[in-house]
Structure 1
Amino acid sequence: MNLNDLLASEGIDPSQVIVMRHRPQEPELNKVLPWLAAEKPDTFNAYQQTQGTAAENAMRQLQGKGYIASFIRHAPTKALFVGVYKIGATTPLTPEQYWSVPAYQEMKAFGMYGFSENDGREHVLWFDLALTDFYADWKGKLIVGWPPPERSWWRRSHRNVMPVLAVLEQSALDAAMPEWDQIDLSWEELAVLPMRWQDILRQWRGIYLIFDQSDGKSYVGSAYGSSNLLGRWLSYAASGHGGNRLLRQRDPRNFRFTILQRASPDLEAEEVIRLEGTWKERLHTRAPWGLNDN
């Protein structure tokens, strides 16, 4: 069984399909692209709705009749299924119009280069890509083989054999969260945390650190409310400062979020606050040396 067999079984001609295996060059975007596919499908789709010259020309040839079979690099020689999209109408975008699109602004925060005047084109084509119901239940679960060369990230489906290697029980897009003492997140990543991560962080009380990369100063905080660590971090994701006076004066794009100490969800709030105070003392995060004002 291979991808072309699956396409044909659903009445899709493989000769009308371009297969894309997305692997952004930008490290931060490469890290969060699976999260976007899982949690923000419209933003993920925006990533593939504009392309470089070669892929753009190939898509234009199939406009109105063809499809994009969208995958994300899963491992060397493997690709993880996201969906099949019908190729519709196009809209030309100038660099200014391109960067006015909210999805591209969002991905720019993760380092996306995107379309610019240095690209050599006056405009880029934005494709209307409509997600189909093709094996929708296998999103994040279907893994196919990706034939060499590895760097060739898009292919004509009928010219390639991509064997079905596995269908996972759970989606691999929202990967398992690392151990709590290995979590190190940017401010932008807080807004796209996978649901699996959110469910775990919602259970944990604890002490966290916000490190400002611009000057090395830090802030220690505690989480013990109804949503625990998740609630506090989502507050920072929304406001950038979480209501803290000294953080209001800073650019949250420089912040990194880590956990200093995980606590039981039934630990009394007073004890969590006491632990928070000990970390402030040990790390010297009270002003003027740090960003805690109490």
Structure 2
Amino acid sequence: MLLFDLLKLWEPTFTPGHAKVHLARHNGKEHPLDVFLEGRFDKWQSWQGKRSFQKEFVVSLIQAGRPTRWLFAGLFRKVGCTSHDEPRPHYIYDLERVAGAEEWVGRLYLDSQYKERHSYPLGTTMAGDLVVRELLSKRLTIGDFPGYKSVNLTKEHLDIVIRQDISTWRSALASVKGIYLITDSATGKLYVGKADGEDGIWGRWRNYAATSHGGNVALKKEFGIEALPERKYDLRFSILEIADLHAMSCEIAARENHWKEVLLTRLHGYNLN
């Protein structure tokens, strides 16, 4: 199913010819996904350096992980536009959310074949693209730390947690050592790892956010520089067990070995030792 087919159902007056699409990508200063999760997206989008939205409707999408994956951020109707000169020439758009599409905001993931860098294509350009791939049961959010037994982060969400330095996550993960599990959702392969440094699991996962492989040989081969850029977004992070920060490294290593044997990650996963 195509997004534009759904848009016509949600708003009967909508047509591709009367729409612009906003492909919100990282602008070098802040990531639009962070802005969305913080509740600032509408105001952030309204500020434009050019006349980007010279159509009745704006279909707003946020790049989510791989370059071809987009999160539906809303359908907007343009109410007005004002020009400003300070601090530099720009335009402030008055964009009103279309109520019929609100139920799907932050829940609908789309795949696109659009490869151009232009971030404001015409609706007619994208009408035959943007295939619906996933519908979340509830709106995407990165809330407070849910408890060690409930951690289940995608790589995309881990990056957000680390980038935003969310205090409840940092406090919880930095206060324990432990054994964690990385799942490759594309192949089903597992990797069991240990966090035994002074910054606990937080310090170890911060490394994964930066590199995707954490220095592990097998993961580096699969998710390193030579891998497809989008492969890292197949990773999921969870916690098998935790230990006190004063636990000895040999204790942590013994528990890591236990889980490797239980989950057979040397035979069927990414653990090589």
**Taking structure 2 as the reference length, what is the TM-score of the superposition?**
0.53
Q: For residues 289 and 175 of structure 1, do their structure 2 counterparts lie closer, same or farther at Cα, with a shift above 3 Å needed?
A: closer
After TM superposition, give the deviation of residue 96 of structure 1 in Å.
Answer: 2.3
1:34, distance to aligned residue in structure 2 (A):
7.8
Alignment check: 8 A CA contact 1:209 1:219 kept: yes
Letter in 1 for 2:151: I
Aligned to 1:201: 173
Question: Tell me, which stretches of 5 or more residues in structure 1 are unaligned?
Answer: 1-31, 78-93, 100-114, 123-172
1:117-196 equivalence runs, <5 A: 119-120=123-124, 175-193=143-161, 194-196=166-168
Distance 2:207 2:40 in 1: 23
Which residue, 117, 121, 138 being the options, matches 1:97? 117
- Structure 2 distance, partners of 1:197, 1:63, is 41
Contact kept in structure 1, 2:47 and 2:92, CA below 8 Å: no
| In 1, Cα distance between equivalents of 2:92 and 2:147 | 43
Identity of aligned residues (%): 29
Matched, 1:222 2:194: yes
The answer as to 2:205 corresponding to 1:233 is yes
Distance in 1 between residues matched to 2:82 and 2:194, nearest whole Å = 54
| 1:212 counterpart residue number | 184
CA distance in structure 1 between the partners assigned to 2:197 and 2:96 by the alignment: 40
Give the deviation of 1:58 after TM superposition: 2.4
Partner of 1:277: 257
Counterpart of 2:239, as a letter, is I
Give the equivalent residue in structure 1 for 2:64: none
- Give the AA of the match of 1:267: A
Question: In the TM superposition, what is the alpha-carbon distance from 1:38 to its structure 2 partner?
Answer: 6.8
| Residues 241 and 97 (structure 1), Cα distance of their counterparts in 2 relative to 1, 3 Å cut | same
Aligned to 1:54: 56
In structure 2, C-alpha distance between the alignment counterparts of 1:191 and 1:66, rounded to whole Å? 30
Task: Say whether 1:291 aligns with 2:263.
Answer: no
Quote the offset at 1:61 in angstroms.
2.5
Question: Contact 2:184–2:235 at 8 Å: present in 1 too?
Answer: yes
Distance 1:254 1:224 in 2: 25
Q: Give the TM-score normalised by the residue count of structure 1.
A: 0.49
Q: CA RMSD in A?
A: 4.1
Kindly state the Cα deviation for residue 184 of structure 1 after the two structures are TM-superposed: 0.7
User: Is contact 1:174–1:196 with CA below 8 Å preserved after alignment?
Assistant: no
Counting matched residue pairs gives: 177
- In structure 2, relative to structure 1, the CA distance for the partners of 1:121 and 1:214 (3 Å cut) is closer
